[in-house]
Chains A and B, each alone.
Chain A
Amino acid sequence: MKDARASRGCVLQLRDLHKRFGATPIIRGVSLDIDQGERHAIIGPNGAGKSTLFNLVSGLFAPSAGSIRLDGEPIEGFSPFEIYRRGLARSFQVTNIFPRLSVFENIRCSVLWSLGYRYSFKRDVAKLSDANARTGEVLEQIGMSARRDVRAGVLTYAEQRALEIGITIAGNARVILLDEPTAGMSRAEAARAVSLIRTISVGRTLVMVEHDMGVVFDLADRISVLVYGEIIATDAPTRIRENPAVRAAYLGTGPGNL
């Protein structure tokens, strides 16, 4: 298995990553290799630094020390839009959409850069047939075609979560980070989200933070366990379940949760 991964190549590589806020260390030396095309879940107790790790990789924060490589190129300390342009997109734990734009506009704005329109002020967006077609495709994929003209701010919570994922995948990024995609959802909604994530992760590399162990074990090829800013194990789901260190770390919440 290890050899198979090596042949597919490593897309995202974290080496000895540190992040301190003032004197408080949050990420304390994380090293992690994410392989091409895998679905990788990061789990860990609250406050372990999962979201901070995402914020470092996606450029919201600059790391205090260590390196992040995307396709072998260093990206640590880059701004979010530079990292996005290199092919890494992310979603947020707290819904982060464009509330006063329509659903359609939310997605269309998110496809513009990837189609090369940049800061153009010579072209009418209504006439960008590729952008509008791609927007239609994404809306279909996230099941929001019927809601295309609704203002994003008035959508239901589950719809906003779906839109959040739509915005993230619209630009066809090769690496997708999803931060708790099913947080706050009902069972049925979470099940729909899981099948959506399964579809959108085809041909892409997916890294996700998730609390729902059902979702994690259902989706992930590999799991990393982050505890107090350190990764204590990275392995296939079945082996993570049996890992004594992981069980110890989760003892507080009961090993039954795993």
Chain B
Amino acid sequence: MSESKTASPVPERRSGALLQWLERRKAWLFAAIVLIILPHVPGLDGNFGRSLLSQMGIAAVFALSYNLLLGQTGLLSFGHAVYFGLGGYAGIHLMRAINAGLPIPMPLVPLAGAATGLAFGMLFGALTTRRAGVVFALISLGVGELVFAAMRILQGFSGGEEGITANRGMGPHPFGLTFGPQLQVYYVIVFWSAMAAALMAAFLRTPAGRMCNAVRDNPERAAFIGYDPVRIRFVVFCVAAMFAGLAGGLHALNYEIVAAEAVGAGRSGTVLLMAYIGGVHSFFGAVLGAVTITWLQVSLSDYTTAWQLYLGLFFIAVVLFAPGGLSGLLLMHRPILGTRAFLHVVKSYAIAALPALAAAAGAIMLLEINYRRATQPDTGARMRLFWMDVDTSSVWPWLSAIALLAGGAFLFNRCRRLVANAWQQASDEARTVGGMQREPRP
């Protein structure tokens, strides 16, 4: 019964130490290699692709920092952009100083963002972390509005809604790097993002980081094992604000402009969306959410002016049907991954996907037609929909859209049993296989 693993590691031989070190950091090394290669992959090797990747990196740091609050400590903030934006302003002002002759290389700019985020995190955190729950959420909203208003008033510092600009190419050029090309900026962003992600993961493994989870689960009991929940919340709040500030500094470096919206409620809402859609229960859910939402923001807006509507629908769908977020959906499959029935599950997904796509197509047609008629009634009845010319004054587009939606929904509903059966089979198999593996017990 007492098969308790003790944490003392197997004694390492010196020659094997490096290999072991590599073995333990396999996932990180793999990620690093992927990140280095990505901007050279066809399709992403243009300016657009590299800029998209840069944006994703910044969003990932921001979302990870947000998840320290929401997922790890249970603090719902509506004002996390405050630290992002103020970090961004610190970054852009440092860049202007460098433009004016300050001999600091541009890649160090994000550190000014981090320091500023930390400073304001300590300032506002001392106020806001005294209480958790609704009170914390409301105060964070208030602080967010306050700082946004301040940024609009302090035109000299913030440039208001137009923002202030700087030039990342003007400054010291170490090793001949100008930081003008997007590729160089991408690598600077990847460096800081990977650093930030590793540090945040490490933070969660420290005593203070573990106690964040304990305070999230049960602040009252945390106090009865020696910890002050307010102090824990304050510590994590400062750490989260610091990394949000770093993300803001990266933002300044990437866009060479920071405006008042950087501290605004819109950005605070977006990071909440990213963290939640990615899944708050796992560390890398935030990265997944940041990547997905950034990609949707950039690519959807190319296809439709109603993209925010789809983003909202997507968010609602995740909240209702997948509260664990995208990472939750993925991790759900871990127990059945090795089973033979897993193939059946995949097959059932593929079958269910067909009617789901049909229903989605129908829904999109209806939305697009109505959106167009509501927002641009003067452009006439003809419009392009899915590479087709459609006359919205005739009955056919409407009928086919409704048919697709209704038929797809009906068939999808029937497919759900197929999926459920495949799942049942797979989890039964996983249980028996798992049972056999666990057999050698006295």
Contact = CB atoms under 8 A, between A and B. Distances in A.
Nearest to A123: B206
A175 B97 CA distance: 60
**Nearest 4 CB-CB pairs, A to B?**
A113-B226, A132-B7, A98-B217, A80-B223
Contacts of A168: 224
Contact of A121 (B4, B207, B217, B227): B207
B1 A122 contact: no
B223 A79 contact: yes
Interface of B: 1-4, 6-8, 202-203, 205-211, 213-214, 216-218, 220-228, 231-232, 235, 239
Given A124-B206, A129-B8, A136-B6, A81 B224 contact: yes
Interface string A138-152: 011000011010000
Contact of A126 (B205, B235, B239): B205
Nearest to B229: A81
A90 interface: yes
A143 to B, nearest CB: 9
B361 to A, nearest CB: 39
A155 to B, nearest CB: 14
Interface string A93-134: 000111111000100111011100111111111111100110
Contacts of A226: none
A122 B206 contact: yes
Contacts of A58: 224
Given A96-B221, A112-B210, A85 B4 contact: no
Interface of B is mostly: helix
A171 B235 contact: no
Contacts of B208: 119-121
A173 B183 CA distance: 58
A125 B205 contact: yes
Contact of B231 (A119, A120, A146): A119
Nearest to B216: A100
6 contacts: A100-B216, A109-B213, A110-B225, A119-B231, A128-B7, A140-B4
B223 A81 contact: yes
A19 B227 CA distance: 25
B11 to A, nearest CB: 13
A170 interface: yes
A124 B225 contact: no
B211 A121 contact: no
A98 B213 contact: yes
Given A84-B226, A145-B2, A118 B207 contact: yes
Interface of A: 58-60, 79-81, 84-85, 89-90, 92, 96-101, 105, 108-110, 112-114, 117-129, 132-133, 136, 139-140, 145-146, 148, 167-168, 170-171
Contacts of A59: 223
A97 B226 contact: no
A126 B3 CA distance: 18
Contacts of A129: 7-8
Contacts of B1: 145-146
B223 A133 contact: no
B227 A96 contact: no
Contacts of A171: 225-226
Contacts of A96: 218, 220-221, 224
Contacts of A108: 210
B209 A121 contact: yes
Contacts of B220: 60, 80, 96
A109 B210 contact: yes
A136 B7 CA distance: 10
Given A112-B210, A121-B206, A132 B218 contact: no
Given A81-B223, A81-B228, A125-B205, A98 B214 contact: yes
B224 A105 contact: no
B224 A90 contact: yes
A134 B3 CA distance: 16
Nearest to B228: A81
Nearest to A168: B224
A99 B218 contact: yes
Nearest to A111: B225
A112 B215 CA distance: 14
A146 B3 contact: yes
Contacts of B227: 81, 112-113, 119
Contacts of A101: 213-214, 217
B207 A105 contact: no
A11 to B, nearest CB: 18
A165 B92 CA distance: 54
B205 A124 contact: yes
Nearest to B215: A98
B212 to A, nearest CB: 10
Residue among A58, A109, A123, A127 having the largest count of chain B Cβ atoms under 10 Å: A109
